[in-house]
Amino acid sequence: MLHMTKRSLVIVGLLLMMMVTAMAQSQPERVVLLVQGYTGQANVVQSQGRLLVDVQDLARMTNGTLRFEKGRILLTLAPGGAPEPAADSTGKNDFSPEFRRAAVEAMASIREWGGMLKVIAENGYPVGKAMAGNTVRAYEGRAADSVGLAAAAATNDSDSRGLELLRNEFNHVQAWAESFVDARNDLRAVDLTTSEHGLKDDDEAQKIMQCGQFLAQMFAGGAIQDDVSCH
């Protein structure tokens, strides 16, 4: 009986070891994706012989934009590829490295927030206390936190000027979002979904998108510039 008990214990132990080994092998291996000419990295999960990339990380690091449509996601890269830093032999217009990184992250958060608003507006999703409304508030909160981190990282004059433009964009998106939610709740935003051109006819929305594209390229370039769309 003792012999059989020891043998059973050995068998059970071997089975447990095989289960742990199988579970460890089934766990996806995490790696990161780097794109030459861009800063940052995108999360990659290796599973069952395939490499899966986080599209939001990919859009953020390439200064691209994501468009969520029914059944598909469209990634649009910044025109001309990775922007080159503005030529300035003195470097007086350059952002500090810490602020530049924080500003790039902040712009990515703002553009994700704006992209979500665009999807909701064009598809006529309900807002207010609905799930779409909670999603918008969550994106807005992340964008606000990111802008706060950029403000804390600002150390020179170029950083301060860039921060002002960044805050302008945040405020413009926030004001548009609030007016859209009010209009949607009062059934006054129906033209955004029934119109053939939708947001293309909304001057304020177009100005926000133009400023967002400009700021994403400016912060990636590393030096202060200006554009009328951000004022």
When pLDDT is averaged across residues 67-85 and rounded to a whole number, the result is: 59
Domain count, the chain: 1
pTM of the model: 0.59
- Structural domain contains residue 198: yes
What range defines the domain where residue 123 resides? 91-230
Q: Strand, coil or helix: what is 207?
A: helix
pLDDT at 74 over 70: no
- Structural domain contains residue 7: no
Q: What is the pLDDT of residues 98-132, one digit of tens each?
A: 999 999 999 999 999 988 888 887 777 776 655 66
List Cα–Cα distances, 115 to 34, 82, 90, 210, in angstroms: 24, 21, 37, 13
- Structural domain contains residue 55: no
Q: What is the pLDDT of residues 20-63, one digit of tens each?
A: 454 444 444 556 666 666 666 667 666 666 667 776 667 776 77
pLDDT at 79: 52
- Structural domain contains residue 85: no
pLDDT at 137: 84
Report yes or no: 127 and 194 within 8 Å, Cβ to Cβ.
no
> Distance between CA atoms of 29 and 191, rounded to whole angstroms?
47
- Structural domain contains residue 162: yes
The DSSP secondary-structure symbol of 73 reads: E
Report yes or no: 67 and 118 within 8 Å, Cβ to Cβ.
yes
- Structural domain contains residue 185: yes
- Structural domain contains residue 69: no
- Structural domain contains residue 143: yes
